[in-house]
Amino acid sequence: MAVNSSKTRITKAHLLLAELRAEARRERFAAAFNQHFPSVEQQRQHPRYGWLWLAPGDWHQTVEMQPAPEFRRWCEEEQMPKLAKNPHYHDQFEARIDERRRRLESLQNGINRGRLDLEPAAGMARREIRWLSELISTCSATARY
């Protein structure tokens, strides 16, 4: 009988050890996953482009650059092309383009009904669609080669 209880204790110890190892693997995986794909709670809105939600590292870099006089140029010419290359942000860029296209369609309907005052807003939507589409297509082309 003592042999049986000894085997039971060893088996329970092995199961507990295996469970602890599995938990440690899950925690390491979760930490690595969250580093590359932060949860919604960890993301923050871009101070210039409120539709774009940034991972903590990108957000901190943006906030550090914000007081600089060249912040707008830096966002448009350096940061946004870099973010467009990042697969984490690709869906947000696509969603923004879709949103702007829907807005442009709505504006165009108003213009067609005689609301010429909507033309400047339609022009801004067209420019943003073109700019974001170019960012994504340029990044997609460079990723293939």
The answer to whether the pTM exceeds 0.85 is no
Tokens of 130: 């073109």
Ordered per-residue pLDDT tens for the chain, 145 residues: 455 666 677 777 777 777 877 777 666 655 555 555 556 568 999 999 999 999 999 999 999 998 888 999 999 999 999 999 999 899 999 999 999 999 999 999 999 999 999 999 999 999 999 999 999 997 655 554 4
Q: Mutual orientation of helices 119-144 and 87-112 as an angle, nearest 10°?
A: 150
- In the chain, where are the structural domains located? 1-36, 40-144
